[in-house]
Structure 1
């Protein structure tokens, strides 16, 4: 099994686990509020943090599968040479965004939250843990898009 497939499979399992915990958390939130008449104090905050993780890791997953939302009308109507160039430009822009915003900016955010010892209100956990998903997703998106560019170049050379 290749590294890419191993990362994809691991990411799938992480996403399934996080989404399962999110569903259970929201179910407990509803049950404790309406059935037990004693709303849980941490479930709302946990649901928000889990949604952040699922959203960003899910974005990395679909970026790796190249199944993200895209308007590809221009690419569909282009010659193979122009299609190759457009896909390379798009991948380069995505990699630059992932590195600058998610990896560098996210790492700075994580560092400052840990350095300042910022804790979440209800759970009392360090917010650096919550924001850790930004550089993780940035690394994954960068890896996936570089791998996609490598495969794109090899496919273009064969034709």
Structure 2
């Protein structure tokens, strides 16, 4: 099971790296074509925009897994350990509930995306498919954090803190 999870982490990381690399290369080529050859690529900016969407929603899960999302901890850092863990639990549950709403709303949104993109003629459902995928990834990582928060609270109570 651990190998599967590590494999999924690597897939997530490589997907982000690939999206960022392709976006950088496409935008560089677009600048060269427009500046030096006066022949801009019609699809380049559209592709870069769609890759940015994918980077954003795949990056949400990566950020939570790494604990790198910005947070306001001034109050939380001054709390006793049990309250600190309880505060973390509340924040994690609130995030989980918010992403349930995002997941459900994104599925409804996808159901109404029966158009293709202007320049690349990609189905918009393919472009926005990353929203529910990113929400599921976030919820999976967040569920792990919720379990960890509950364990911390129970351990602190057992230790008498």
When the two structures are superposed, what TM-score results if normalisation uses the length of structure 1? 0.91
Q: What is aligned with 2:100?
A: 99
Within a 5 Å distance, the mapping from 1:37-48 to structure 2 comes to 37-48=38-49
CA contact (8 A) 2:57 2:135 kept: no
Instruction: Give 1:151 shift.
Output: 2.0
Measured in 1, the distance between the counterparts of 2:88 and 2:24 equals 37
Measured in 1, the distance between the counterparts of 2:25 and 2:143 equals 36
> Which secondary structure does the structure 2 equivalent of 1:120 belong to?
coil
* Long gaps (5+) in structure 1: none
> Which secondary structure does the structure 1 equivalent of 2:15 belong to?
helix
Q: Give the count of matched residue pairs.
A: 155
Instruction: Give 1:55 shift.
Output: 1.4
Measured in 1, the distance between the counterparts of 2:45 and 2:134 equals 23
Matched, 1:5 2:6: yes
Instruction: Give 1:152 shift.
Output: 2.4
Instruction: Give 1:158 shift.
Output: 3.6
Q: What is aligned with 2:118?
A: 121
Instruction: Give 1:67 shift.
Output: 1.2
Matched, 1:24 2:21: no
Which structure: larger Rg? 2
Instruction: Give 1:5 shift.
Output: 3.1
Measured in 1, the distance between the counterparts of 2:34 and 2:139 equals 42
Measured in 2, the distance between the counterparts of 1:136 and 1:127 equals 15
- Once structures 1 and 2 are overlaid, which stretch shifts more, 140-149 or 56-65? 56-65
Structure 1 residues 78, 5: closer, same or farther in 2, change over 3 A?
Answer: farther
Q: What is aligned with 1:60?
A: 61
Question: What RMSD, in angstroms, separates the aligned Cα atoms of the two structures?
Answer: 1.4
Moved over 6 A (4+): none
* Long gaps (5+) in structure 2: 157-161
